[in-house]
Amino acid sequence: MDFAKKIIDSTEEIFSTMIFIDISAEEGLFEGKQILDCHVSSMIGLSGDISAMLAIHCPGNIGLEIAGAMLGMELEEVDADVKDALGEIANMLAGGLKEKFAQENIHLELAIPTTVSGKGYSISSPTRSNRVIIPFNLKQGQFFVEMKYSLNT
């Protein structure tokens, strides 16, 4: 199923066609201590053959950079525009994954995205679930795309 490759491909497609920022993927992680430095996260639930939660986690300045590039405007703080833009990116990422899994006859459905922001939060998933985290580099720093999942047999 190669989750990491699908996450990387979907993320790169969206950044090159919708956001116009060059990014490069790093080796996938299986736990996410770096994510603790992130101050804005958008996530979206997926169901179907895989039950999952997909998230993009950004430090505040990277969230502003990405949302600003997507919306074509200068952004100063993590406001409603930034949260909506990142939520939309989570939605597009999940859509990309859905399409890629469909080619392998794995059926997925999307819920709606939500954005978590703030100075002090962590996000956890059920202890028995699987987890893949891909760090992406851009000029100003890093962001992370995470998928937590379990297979529905």
Partner 1 sequence: MEYAQHLITATQEIFSSMIMLDVAAGEPFKRSKETLKNSVSGIIGLTGTSKALLSIHLPNTMAIDVTTAFLGMEVQEVDEDVRDAIGELANMLGGNLKTALDPAGSNVQLSMPSVVYGEEYAIDSLADAITVTVPFDLDGKTFLVELQLRKES
* Gap between the terminal Cα atoms of the chain: 14
Token pair 């580099």 in the structure block, residue? 137
Distances in whole angstroms, Cα of residue 8 to Cα of each of 18, 72, 104, 132:
15, 24, 17, 11
User: Whose Cβ is closer to partner 1: residue 140's or residue 152's?
Assistant: 152
- State the nearest-atom distance from the C-beta of 131 to partner 1, in Å: 11
- State the nearest-atom distance from the C-beta of 137 to partner 1, in Å: 25
User: Whose Cβ is closer to partner 1: residue 23's or residue 38's?
Assistant: 38
- Could you tell me the sign of the dihedral formed by the alpha carbons of 83, 23, 38, 32, in that order? positive
User: Whose Cβ is closer to partner 1: residue 99's or residue 109's?
Assistant: 109
- Could you tell me the sign of the dihedral formed by the alpha carbons of 33, 36, 37, 38, in that order? positive
- State the nearest-atom distance from the C-beta of 144 to partner 1, in Å: 15
Residue numbers of the site for partner 1 (CB under 8 A)? Answer: 43-48, 51-53, 55, 80, 83-84, 87-88, 91, 109-127, 129, 148-150
